[in-house]
Chains A and B, each alone.
Chain A
Amino acid sequence: MRARRLRTGLKGWGGVGAMAVACALAVLFALLLPLARADGGSDGTDSGGHGVARGGQARAAEECTDPEKQTLPPAGDDGPAIDEIRGREGERRKLIVGVDQNSYHWGYRDPNSGGDAELEGFDIDLVRRIAEDILGDRNAVQFKAIPTDQRIPAIQDGRVDMVVRTMTINCDRLTDVAFSAPYFRTGQQVLAPRSSDITGYDGTLAGKEICTAAGSTALSTLQRDRADGRLAEGVDLRTTVPNQLDCLVRLQLGEVDAVVTDGALAASQAAQDPTVELKGDAFTTEYYGVAMKKDADDLVRRVNHILVQWRADEAEGWQRSYERWLSKTMGGDPAKSEPPSPPQYLREN
């Protein structure tokens, strides 16, 4: 919004003035960039990330305040990325999507579904919708199960076209991949046994062992909070696992005291074990988005286009999938899970 207003304002000053300001800004930005990168390198809070991500974090922190808005406006046109997918031949003419097979009601395989190995869940519905739109066949999908910390490398290496895997849009990740508009709202929450004295994300966590998934927003949030002194004293964050669901195993075996993960996933865990529950409210606000290659602009626009339709489709869209998969565990009213409406598309390129 602000940027758009600024641009219209600039038009009034005339081309020459705008160009001079743009040049000055560019020079200033170029000068600041190395500084910002040095800052990012020294803060050392995110031990899981690599150098680029850290530099990106610092730079992104300056530029990006609302990561969920940093996406391209929707468009139904084809481009190089979509052509590449459509150009696949024969059996291989499929959309390759990185998903989770362990997130109950998001992306999972129901062992009792009668012997077939179909994955199903909220994310999977969205994947099928995208495949139907791009390839004309909702089953033209090759699912690849990927661990949490492999989501970004899998996109960057081209092992998958996109990742639809309860992936939080954040500034850090925006430097490595491109995100669609948000399709779900959630926030970090604490999960612990009902009998536990933990009451939420507060002082009661002192001295407890907390399990998180490697490469998850939960882990980076906790690490940042610890560096800022906002995390309770003596919390042990050493237990990290490939998938958030592995945390439930550790919790049940008594190896950890609590789990921190997205509220949506924590609810899925609680649904599988009635002796654990969500403790306290979500302490962050986050949005899930579809992650794609950074330069796949046409694909990003296309997915945003599909998301608009999906949200609007009352019969077979977002609403229907929510009811089918999530209403039982997250409550019948989807209001607190709905993404911002209408979404904003502030990324210029």
Chain B
Amino acid sequence: MNRPPKGSAAPPPGTGVPTLPAVPPRSASVPPQRGGAPAGSPPPPPPPPTAPRRTAFAEGLDRLRAAAVTEPGRLRIIGALLAALVVAFGAVTAWQMHERSAAADDVLHRSQPLTSDAADIYRSLAEANTAASSGFLAGGQETEESRDRYEKGIRTAAEGLVTAAADSDADSPSADTITRLNRLLPEYKGLIERARTYNRQGFPVGGAYLRYANEKMQREMLPAAEDLYKTENRRLSADYDDARSYPWAAIGLGVLALAALAWAQHRNYRRTNRVLNHGMVTATATAAVVLLWLVVGHGVARSNLGDSHDHGVRSLNVLHDARIASLKARGNENLTLVARGAETKKVGDETVDAYDFDFGKNMDALGNGLARAASLADDEAGERPVTVAKGNMAEWKERHAAAREQDENGNYQQALDLVIGGEGATDECFDGVDASLATALEHEEREFAQAAGDGLDAMGYLPQGAGVLAGLGAAGALLGIGRRLSEYR
């Protein structure tokens, strides 16, 4: 805090009503001065005070000292402090609750949708890649369905990137990731289009392009999308924490204001034997209402937000992860057949097919995800799709094993039929898993929006209400003191 060297801006001299900070307490009979000093530290008298300042300051001080020794003067001081306390309580409550409800609003309308968007980008990219490899497996004449799926995946990812870009701050790590993905997506699409064209002409270089595109997707794009998803998830957690942190400052000030009001009324009673002073009672009542509203409203909001997190966001995260795992597993399953053993990996002493190994890992992830989703699901509607997905997954594993056996025996065509052949093939099971997970996700989104919306509503009007009530309370305190004061006229 820089002060101008010369006393051009002298500290405000004590005017009639000394709402001012800061007088070194002179008499023990005015304790509120000490505890209830409103914000702003007392300006210590500068070491070589210039003459006019000294006078002004000393004058104010003297007047305050003079006031403090007479009862009306003390009453004035007490009234001012009480009003200031109540106003401060209201202001801090309004401010803190505004912050919390803004954070809750962010959770509901910003960070959670963005997290879902990021998960959608990730999922759509994986879906497009899986569809592209399926199309390749099917030969030159890829089915309309696999083409549609691929196009839909690309489109959803592109749209998701636009939304994500609009909602991310420039310079943030998310913005970098989004830029990178925006650059890679057309590159990827270009490679796939070349692969398709060559495929149609019957040239194997189409397969080489597909491998190259797949490599780009697996090594650069999916990790970037995963990054984005994780960043958004962290932001969501931060917003949750902001919305759910206790407004300690407001609560503390509320308790203090009530205590000060009680003390003032007690003092009043001791000196005048009057029990009720309307103004003071109004002030006490409004402060108590604000404090109660604050504690209950925030408590309810906290609990609703907690619900939305535990039953909404956690379920959503688990379901997103499971869905992505199932997509990756499907992609690996296709690539096992595309690569035909070209990619191997050493596991211990054994050389295994790299894609089949990854398939196993992703299926395990899917299994774990579904188990957790089932334990998190809190109602019948949430549980049903997860159970269906589990059934599909079990069937998928069985059919996959049969397809692998055919492939191991050299019956490539049969293996292919068991993977992309439609009825009785693993693509049915994958579709089943994917559709049930989509249903489950929708359900959990709804539950989340409900609970988080309730939480937000519980804090609704609290900032405004606290402001208005605190104004009323302060007025009450002043009127109450004023009434006592008038008795001295």
* A residues whose Cβ falls under 8 Å from a Cβ of B: 91-92, 94, 96, 101-104, 108-118, 141-147, 150, 157, 159, 242-243, 245-246, 248-249, 252, 269, 272-273
**Are B141 and A115 neighbours in the complex by a CB distance under 8 Å?**
yes
Q: Which A residues lie within 8 Å of B139 (CB)?
A: 111-115, 117
Interface centre among A92, A112, A114 (most CB of B within 10 A): A112
Q: Which A residues lie within 8 Å of B211 (CB)?
A: 246
Known interface pairs A94-B410, A112-B139, A157-B351; A146-B341 also in contact (CB < 8 Å): yes
Q: What 0/1 readout, one digit per residue, does chain B (403-419) give for beta carbons within 8 Å of chain A? A: 00000011111001000
Q: What 0/1 readout, one digit per residue, does chain B (327-345) give for beta carbons within 8 Å of chain A? A: 0000000000001111110
**Residue B485 at the chain A interface, CB threshold 8 Å:** no
Which residue of chain B has its CB nearest to the CB of A246? B208
Q: B208: which of A92, A146, A249 is its contact (CB, 8 Å)?
A: A249
CA distance A248 to B208 in the complex (A): 9
CA distance A102 to B209 in the complex (A): 11
CA distance A142 to B412 in the complex (A): 8
B341 to chain A: closest CB distance in Å?
4
Q: Which B residues lie within 8 Å of A102 (CB)?
A: 204-205, 207-208
Q: Which A residues lie within 8 Å of B201 (CB)?
A: 272
CA distance A97 to B389 in the complex (A): 39
Q: Which A residues lie within 8 Å of B42 (CB)?
A: none
**Are B410 and A101 neighbours in the complex by a CB distance under 8 Å?**
no
**Residue B233 at the chain A interface, CB threshold 8 Å:** no
18 pairs from A and B in contact (CB 8 Å cutoff):
A91-B411, A101-B207, A102-B207, A112-B200, A113-B139, A114-B139, A117-B412, A141-B410, A142-B409, A143-B410, A144-B341, A245-B204, A245-B207, A245-B208, A246-B211, A246-B212, A248-B205, A248-B208
3 tightest Cβ-Cβ pairs between the two chains A and B: A142-B410, A145-B340, A111-B140
Number of residues in B with C-beta < 8 Å to the partner? 33
CA distance A142 to B342 in the complex (A): 14
Which residue of chain A has its CB nearest to the CB of B211? A246
**Are B208 and A273 neighbours in the complex by a CB distance under 8 Å?**
no
A262 to chain B: closest CB distance in Å?
16
Q: Which B residues lie within 8 Å of A141 (CB)?
A: 410
**Residue B158 at the chain A interface, CB threshold 8 Å:** no
**Are B339 and A145 neighbours in the complex by a CB distance under 8 Å?**
yes
B192 to chain A: closest CB distance in Å?
13
Which residue of chain A has its CB nearest to the CB of B417? A117
**Are B208 and A147 neighbours in the complex by a CB distance under 8 Å?**
no
Q: Which B residues lie within 8 Å of A242 (CB)?
A: 342
Would you list which residues of chain B between 115 and 142 have a CB under 8 Å from chain A?
Answer: 136, 138-141
Q: B409: which of A92, A143, A150 is its contact (CB, 8 Å)?
A: A92
**Are B202 and A243 neighbours in the complex by a CB distance under 8 Å?**
no
Which residue of chain B has its CB nearest to the CB of A121? B204
Q: Which A residues lie within 8 Å of B411 (CB)?
A: 91
**Residue B160 at the chain A interface, CB threshold 8 Å:** no
**Residue B153 at the chain A interface, CB threshold 8 Å:** no
**Are A249 and B204 neighbours in the complex by a CB distance under 8 Å?**
no
**Are A273 and B205 neighbours in the complex by a CB distance under 8 Å?**
yes
CA distance A143 to B198 in the complex (A): 23
CA distance A150 to B346 in the complex (A): 13
**Are A94 and B409 neighbours in the complex by a CB distance under 8 Å?**
yes
Q: Which B residues lie within 8 Å of A245 (CB)?
A: 204-205, 207-208
Would you list which residues of chain B between 134 and 184 have a CB under 8 Å from chain A?
Answer: 136, 138-141
Known interface pairs A94-B409, A113-B139, A272-B198; A104-B203 also in contact (CB < 8 Å): yes
